[in-house]
Structure 1
Amino acid sequence: MEQKNGSSFTGFILLGFSDRPQLELVLFVVLLIFYLFTLLGNTTIIALSYLDPHLHTPMYFFLSNLSFLDLCYTTSTVPQLLVHLRTAEKAISFSGCVVQLFVFLGLGCTECILLGVMAFDRYAAICKPLQYTVIMHPRLCALMASASWFIGFANSSLQTTLIFIVPLCGRNKIDHFLCEIPALLKLACVDTTVYESEMFFASVIILLLPVTLIIFSYGRIVRAVLRIKSSAGQRKAFGTCGSHITVVSLFYGTAIYAYLQPSNNYSQDQGKFISLFYAIVTPMVNPVVYTLRNKNVMGAMKKVLWMGQDSR
């Protein structure tokens, strides 16, 4: 007898890249290397932010939050994907799918908001340098970081609840490597216009409001920097923002493409590779960008390594 609702399933089948078996071994090796670099890079950022007193500032507080978030974000999908790439069994339980979507979406939404908060921090540092320590008080920083996590997971709770009340009529084969909203909507056996409209509205708020804050912040920053007469001062000011702009461009570009396009234009193959990019590549690139383009982080790394050698 055909099941009538997703909650009746014992599980789903994540098809992943099974239609391209020749790619699975290559993807396994590449993704394993990316995942190990992600763990190493983000753990290093967190450790340096904790160990070096010079990095006990709002900027590095938010950066360590971002690194911890990226560790969780990539771990919510990659280990399972690696297992599925090397085995014929590609099942995920219904509860596992719910948890994965909730965690993955919650972390993604949190990162969107946190990147907006980090832009505001750069605005305060460059445009209001004399009031910076007053504006970015440790209590306010903790409040903004906590609010980012709360709003991100509150939105995820709503979205996850809505997507799993959509009737699936026995369909349980997800043409994706993880439980993600666009792929799950493809399983629905009813008109999903209302669900898509609600989710599009929520995506606009979560994605575009932080983007608006980022654009506003950097518009003011550019105006402030252009008033600096010293070219060295201009380079230093732009240098502190360059890493953040790079990360924002990588993350938001792919997320907006995946979540803000009409469902009839959504290609499953494109969706898989776009998801690979913002779920795996971006978390790996973040610590590299912040490390190589940041003299303070490089200095802290050298100091910690030097202390480690001296202790021997």
Structure 2
Amino acid sequence: MELRTDPGLERSCGPARAGRITARPLAPGVECIDARFFGNAFSPHRHDTYAVGMTLGGVQAFRYRGVRRASLPGNVIVLHPDEEHDGGAGSDDGLHYRMLYLDAAVLREALGDQARGLPFVSEPVLPAPAFRRVVADAVALMDDRPDELRLNDALARLAHQMARHAGLRLHAPGTVAVRAGHRARDYLLAHMDRTVRSAELERVTGLDRFELSRHFRALFATSPHRFLLMRRLERARRLIAEGGRLADVAAATGFADQSHLNRHFRKAFGMPPGRWAALAGGRGGPGPTAGPG
């Protein structure tokens, strides 16, 4: 869904430049927006959700808790439910940011038994590299096809960072659920050619989606989503080296289409699959509608 800001909210100097807000629900209680605009876009208002995001371009200016704030590109922003704030571009260059809106119940579930109560982050603007990486991964979800396992891991990591910056005491998970973790791993390997839903892993392991994410990471140093993705990509790499056509390889390894494979292959291995095919001696020809590798 796309919304355009009211031209009357733009700066009075120079010609008005329209903004754009693209909103995408990711799951019940989780929505992400990508916003680009010039001037003052939002008058004072309140949300009943947490708003967690990052500034991507320009200066993000807003009044929050009675103080005028400014966020530069790369900064994380955390706004709490029912806190009044406004928002706009702090310079003539305009503003670009992404924001997740999280129901408190989702955040509470994601924290599980790690912490008591909800996190209260006192500073709304945070130049925190580790937090920034987690937020960047979370807001990137609106660019791709919905993936429950990826979303679960992103929310679990986000909740951990929010609790840490709120100064909450984080409890260790206790005994790692080794058998449940290995059952999840075996199930993912057995079903790597299709989408695996959270409910399936919950049935297999007896853990809820966020418990599984925490215990799986403790066992295997990665998330269920990342584990499954890398197994698919490793298989894709072998099939490409054997001369498989890229469109056929994408279908055989659980990717929605060739462009989906291309995007993840490049991120994982530093080159497009067509380049890998050439170096590995496989044909790897494009599918009927494919562009360059």
Q: Which has more helix, going by share of residues?
A: 1
Note whether the superposition's TM-score is higher than 0.5. no
After TM superposition, the score normalised by the length of structure 1 is 0.27
Larger RCO, structures 1/2 (Cα 8 Å, 6+ apart) = 1
Q: Which has more strand, going by share of residues?
A: 2
